[in-house]
């Protein structure tokens, strides 16, 4: 969602690199570009005005003028101010002193309340808490049935005494739902309320009545992150008419400009507690302002990636695989498949790689990632016999042809998988032993110094005078300046002379080549 904003900010900060000092003119130019980037991202104008004012004031202060690297200091200031407009520190979900904790969901129709109710219930179950979903949206056609389906998919119980479609009293259903949750010992009750296509008095009055009847511990305002400038007026109206204690951003995986996420907390003064990042029930996470600010500035979000890995990875299985890769045993295709399946539990490969610092420069390659390749890899491995998975070296031509037919792939794809497996195993063993291969360099060890072949080199002349002239000409050629060009065969990419930028290592193969079907 924040790709466009991240690209604009990265371009702005790039122009500051190499400057030993930032004067008022440079600061004003930078702030001007930041203002344009935020307005293009649909951030509310008052929020933009306040944000850029604080950035300019701090950038002209001593913390930048006395810094050893002013450009990095400006990035740090922008990061800190982004954290502030996103709500500052993250807050835990409120818990009732005596269960159940009552959570009321409010928002416009189409904001994703019903789906989010199931995601929140599933998230609470991962925390060891039992939840009951209450179907209090009795107006929208099919809303009750949808909540029942969502609850079944999330593994969460649903209280739906009324069929809906305009039949039943939402306030009474909400009250009875809380009573049943209390009676049956649930830890939390999540009330799904009705929405409207727009703000009206009936919507506000019904939500306020449910609030009065259930005394919720948390009132979560669910807002579509793709709503843009309307987020400010919508959030302000709900805050005044119903009141809410926290915000949940839905559809954060969309391709809109993301202004709602950068506006709603600053305008309402209520923290963003959760974010929905996909269609699956697992695509739901705590919202951390500092981590989101790091994503926007392409600094990565490794902490979230680690937390997700800790939830889905089997520690014993991972330790066993690591031991095999370090040389204690044989790492087989069965182990490879097991690791691949655990990675797939983390979600889309684009999303995972996108959390790494500096991923924006590989965005085109990330867009080309083919998540379906994981399914093809699994089909190929499962078409092998146990002995073939244990020892891929036994795969001759006829066996590979049989595997290709059984998996619905081609012999070429089978060959590529075996080759990737060998390369990945070798690389992981080198990493575990502390001998990480340098991209672009040969993979084999060489004895002594390896020299490039001398193509077309003439033999030395037998005439002493002529030989001396040849040696002087060779010495002059060797002493000639190289004009800043990297040596042939260098692992470095293009380096602008005098730019002051550190050379970047070229990838040995494109990221898309790992998962893109040939």
What string of pLDDT tens digits covers the 518 residues of the chain?
Answer: 566 777 778 777 777 776 667 778 888 888 888 888 888 887 888 888 888 998 888 888 877 767 667 777 888 888 888 888 888 877 889 999 899 999 999 888 888 889 999 999 999 998 899 999 999 999 888 899 999 999 999 999 999 998 888 788 999 999 999 999 999 999 999 999 988 766 677 778 888 899 999 999 999 999 887 776 677 778 888 888 888 999 998 887 765 566 766 788 888 888 889 988 888 888 888 888 888 888 777 665 566 666 666 665 566 666 666 666 566 667 788 888 877 777 766 666 666 666 666 655 655 665 666 667 778 888 999 999 999 988 888 899 999 999 999 999 999 999 988 888 888 777 766 765 655 444 444 444 444 444 444 444 445 555 665 666 666 666 555 544 443 333 333 222 332 333 333 333 333 333 333 444 44
Look at residues 241, 289, 236 and name the one whose alpha carbon lies nearest to residue 267.
236
Structure tokens at 249: 């951003």
CB–CB of 225/256 below 8 Å?
Answer: yes
CA distance 313 to 159: 33
CB–CB of 401/411 below 8 Å?
Answer: yes
Those residues whose C-beta lies under 8 Å from the C-beta of residue 108, and which sit 6 or more positions away, are 195, 196, 197, 198, 199, 223, 224, 234
Q: Which domains does the chain have, with CATH numbers?
A: 3-85 (1.20.120.140), 101-288 (3.40.50.300), 307-432 (1.10.260.30)
Q: Angle at Cα 368 formed by Cα 367 and Cα 374, nearest 5°?
A: 110
Q: What is the value of pTM for the model shown?
A: 0.64
CA distance 359 to 11: 15
Helix (H) or strand (E) run with residue 222 in it: strand 218-224
CA distance 77 to 63: 9
Look at residues 422, 433, 434 and name the one whose alpha carbon lies nearest to residue 330.
422
Beta strands at 272-276 and 101-106: parallel, antiparallel or unpaired: unpaired
Per-state percent for the chain, helix, strand, coil, to nearest 5: 50, 10, 40
Identify the bridge partners of residue 164 per DSSP, sorted by sequence position.
167
CA distance 300 to 361: 12
Beta strands at 131-135 and 101-106: parallel, antiparallel or unpaired: unpaired
């Amino acid at each position: 969602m924040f790709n466009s904003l991240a690209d604009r900010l990265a371009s702005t900060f790039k122009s500051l690199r190499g400057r030993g000092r930032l004067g008022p003119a440079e600061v004003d130019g930078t702030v001007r570009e930041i203002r344009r980037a935020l307005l293009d991202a649909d951030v509310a104008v008052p929020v933009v005005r306040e944000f850029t004012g604080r950035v300019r004031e701090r950038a002209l202060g001593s913390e930048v003028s006395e810094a050893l690297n002013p450009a990095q200091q400006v990035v740090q200031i922008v990061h800190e101010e982004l954290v502030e407009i996103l709500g500052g520190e993250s807050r835990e979900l409120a818990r009732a002193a005596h269960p159940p904790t009552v959570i009321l969901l409010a928002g416009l129709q189409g904001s994703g309340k019903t789906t989010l109710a199931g995601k929140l219930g599933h998230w609470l179950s991962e925390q060891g808490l039992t939840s009951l979903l209450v179907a209090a949206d009795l107006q929208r056609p099919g809303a009750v049935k949808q909540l029942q389906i969502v609850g079944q998919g999330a593994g969460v119980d649903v209280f739906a005494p009324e069929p809906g479609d305009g039949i039943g009293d939402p306030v009474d259903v909400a009250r009875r739902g809380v009573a049943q949750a209390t009676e049956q010992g649930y830890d939390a009750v999540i009330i799904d309320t009705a929405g409207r296509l727009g703000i009206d008095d009936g919507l506000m009055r019904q939500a306020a009545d449910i609030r009065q009847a259930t005394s919720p511990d948390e009132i979560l305002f669910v807002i579509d992150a793709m709503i843009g400038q309307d987020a400010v007026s919508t959030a302000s109206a709900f805050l005044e008419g119903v009141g809410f204690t926290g915000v949940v951003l839905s559809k954060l995986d969309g391709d809109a400009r993301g202004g709602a996420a950068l506006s709603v907390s600053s305008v309402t003064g209520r923290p963003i507690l959760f974010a929905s990042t996909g269609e699956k029930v697992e695509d739901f996470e705590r919202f951390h302002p500092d981590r989101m600010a790091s994503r926007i500035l392409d600094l990565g979000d490794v902490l979230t990636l680690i937390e997700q890995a800790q939830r889905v990875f089997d520690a014993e299985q991972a330790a066993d695989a690591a031991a095999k890769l370090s040389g204690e045993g044989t790492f087989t295709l069965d182990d490879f498949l097991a690791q691949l399946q655990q990675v797939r539990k983390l979600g889309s490969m684009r999303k995972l790689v996108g959390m790494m610092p500096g991923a924006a420069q590989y965005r085109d390659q990330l867009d080309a990632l083919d998540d379906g390749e994981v399914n093809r890899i699994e089909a190929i491995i499962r078409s092998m016999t146990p002995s073939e998975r244990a020892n891929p070296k036994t795969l001759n031509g006829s066996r590979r042809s049989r595997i290709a037919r059984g998996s619905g792939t081609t012999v070429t794809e089978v060959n590529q998988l075996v080759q990737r497996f060998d390369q990945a195993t070798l690389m992981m063993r080198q990493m575990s032993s502390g001998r990480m291969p340098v991209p672009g360099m040969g993979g084999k060890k060489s004895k002594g110094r390896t020299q490039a072949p001398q193509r077309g080199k003439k033999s030395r002349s037998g005439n002493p005078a002529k030989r001396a002239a040849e040696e002087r000409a060779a010495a002059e050629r060797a002493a000639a300046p190289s004009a800043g060009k990297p040596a042939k065969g260098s692992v470095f990419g293009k380096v602008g002379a005098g730019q002051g930028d550190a050379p970047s290592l070229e990838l040995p193969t494109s990221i898309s080549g790992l998962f893109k079907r040939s």
